[in-house]
């Protein structure tokens, strides 16, 4: 995926479809996103090395007292809360290693918990602006429409609740056999270095309040990563390798944005306007959201949002329908969002293989249901 994205960006620049000044504008706009992406990935890797996730997983298993359905509901609550407060990317990076470590320690099938984190990372990311980078990108348009945070939440809370409930119901239906299982609770693993553990845990916990202060999320994420790099440089230098940096994901994001920038400069907006249509009835709402979802699955939800923003900029309701499409509808392809790419990277690191087909067929069940439920919640409000 990364090399194909890089090739597309190079072709866009080499052929003149995207002039250098426009390319620089694109890079400038996504620079905070790239810093955030790199920083949270580094934090996740180092926190994992400090056994933060192993300990958290074992404590969660103790709370559920050997019953799988209790453990799963705990993960649902954690994934939802983490996504709403810390963003879907943080949920994908921080919670995925927890649930996969938990599954490994308890010798239980990992896919139930893996899909719970990645699906709720997408569908629970509607409520607050900080919940998703697309929401943050949309704030300037809401400001132009004279809509503040209260107005945003007034538009988002109904589809947010609908999306979460539909996701939980689909997960329970798909994995009902796993939910009947029980497991043996084992002792919490011993710590190799308590300084690294508590330092890493403190950084992870501090990200929550930092991300809701209203400052650019790249700053607290970058500061957290720097703190852990210094701490590991003092305590365990061998853990600091270039493998911590998600360079393939960075190349993928940059390439996709350059391609979408080139297409936008050559008539993409008019084409998307024709496809998405207009109007205020339920059918029109589903059409707009469906178009956004298809775009997110084709080229990632961030560039899809940027391409679709002019189409939905007329009022707050259309903007919310666009966000439903790119946030909740991007769960068909593994490149549909940065969170999914980060999630798969964490799955690979834990030795859990998720094929594109395994992800697609489950997404084909969830996505139409969650989009319909969320759009109905907007349209019938």
pLDDT digits (tens, 9 = 90+) for 59-97: 878 888 888 999 999 899 888 988 887 778 778 877 888
- Taking the C-alpha atoms of residue 293 and residue 20, their distance in angstroms, rounded to an integer, is 29
Gyration radius of the chain's alpha carbons: 20
Name, in order, each residue with C-beta under 8 angstroms of 223's C-beta and a sequence gap of 6 or more: 210
Say yes or no to pLDDT of 381 above 70: no
pLDDT at 366: 97
Pick 213 or 102 by higher pLDDT: 102
**In this structure, what is the dihedral angle of CA atoms 165, 170, 176, 178, given to the nearest 10 degrees?**
-90
The confidence band for 197, taking pLDDT boundaries of 50, 70 and 90, is very high
Could you tell me if 379 and 285 are in contact, meaning their C-beta atoms sit under 8 angstroms apart? yes
How far is the C-alpha of 304 from the C-alpha of 44, rounded, in Å? 27
Kindly tell me the sign of the dihedral angle through the C-alpha atoms of 249, 255, 257, 260. negative
Residues 6+ apart with CB under 8 A from 199: 50, 227, 228, 231
The Cα-based distances of 54 to 51, 92, 98 in angstroms read: 5, 16, 6
pLDDT at residue number 233: 96
Cβ neighbors of 370 (< 8 A, separation 6 or more) are 123, 162, 163, 166, 167, 170, 328, 329, 331
Are the beta carbons of 61 and 70 closer than 8 angstroms?
no
Spatial separation of the C-alpha atoms in residues 286 and 234, rounded to whole Å: 54
**CA–CA–CA angle 212, 217, 221 (5° rounding):** 110
- Annotate 152-172 with b (16+ C-beta within 10 A) or e (fewer): beebbebbbbbbbebbbebbe
Residue 162 near residue 377 (C-beta atoms within 8 A):
yes
CA distance 290 to 226: 40
Q: What's the pLDDT tens digit per position in 272-294?
A: 777 777 777 899 999 999 999 99
Number of neighbours of residue 177 by Cβ within 10 angstroms: 10
Enter the tokens of residue 333.
């392809």
Chain-wide mean pLDDT for the chain? 87
**Considering the entire predicted model, what is its pTM?**
0.80
């Amino acid at each position: 995926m990364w090399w194909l994205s890089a090739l597309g960006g190079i072709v866009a620049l080499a052929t003149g479809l995207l002039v250098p000044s426009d390319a620089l504008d694109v890079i400038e706009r996504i620079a905070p996103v790239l810093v955030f992406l790199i920083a949270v990935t580094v934090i996740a890797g180092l926190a994992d090395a400090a056994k933060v996730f192993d300990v958290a997983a074992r404590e969660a298993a103790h709370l559920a007292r050997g019953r799988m359905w209790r453990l799963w509901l705990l993960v649902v609550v954690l994934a939802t809360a983490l996504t709403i407060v810390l963003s879907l990317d943080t949920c994908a990076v921080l919670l995925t290693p927890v649930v996969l470590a938990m599954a490994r320690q308890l010798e239980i099938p990992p896919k139930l918990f893996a899909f719970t984190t990645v699906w709720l990372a997408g569908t629970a990311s509607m409520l607050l602006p900080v919940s998703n980078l697309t929401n943050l990108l949309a704030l300037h348009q809401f400001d132009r429409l004279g809509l503040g945070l209260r107005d945003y939440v007034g538009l988002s809370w109904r589809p947010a609740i609908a999306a979460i409930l539909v996701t939980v119901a689909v997960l329970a239906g798909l994995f009902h056999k796993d939910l009947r299982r029980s497991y043996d609770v084992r002792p919490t693993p011993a710590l190799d270095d308590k300084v690294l553990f508590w330092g890493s845990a403190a950084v992870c916990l501090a990200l929550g309040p930092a991300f809701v202060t209203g400052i650019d999320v790249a700053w607290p994420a970058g500061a957290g990563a720097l703190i852990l790099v210094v701490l590991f440089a003092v305590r365990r230098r061998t853990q600091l390798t270039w493998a911590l940096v998600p360079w393939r994901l960075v190349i993928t994001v940059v390439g996709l944005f350059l391609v979408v920038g080139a297409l936008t400069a050559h008539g993409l907006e008019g084409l998307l306007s024709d496809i998405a249509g207009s109007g205020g009835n339920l059918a029109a709402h589903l059409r707009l959201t469906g178009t956004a979802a298809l775009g997110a699955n084709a080229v990632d939800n961030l560039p899809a949002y940027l391409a679709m923003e002019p189409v939905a900029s007329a009022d707050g309701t259309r903007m919310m329908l666009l966000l439903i499409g790119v946030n909740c509808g991007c769960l068909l392809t593994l490149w549909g969002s940065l969170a999914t790419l980060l999630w798969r990277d964490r799955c690979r690191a834990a030795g859990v293989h998720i094929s594109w087909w395994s992800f697609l067929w489950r997404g084909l069940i969830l996505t139409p249901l969650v989009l319909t439920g969320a759009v109905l919640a907007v349209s019938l409000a």
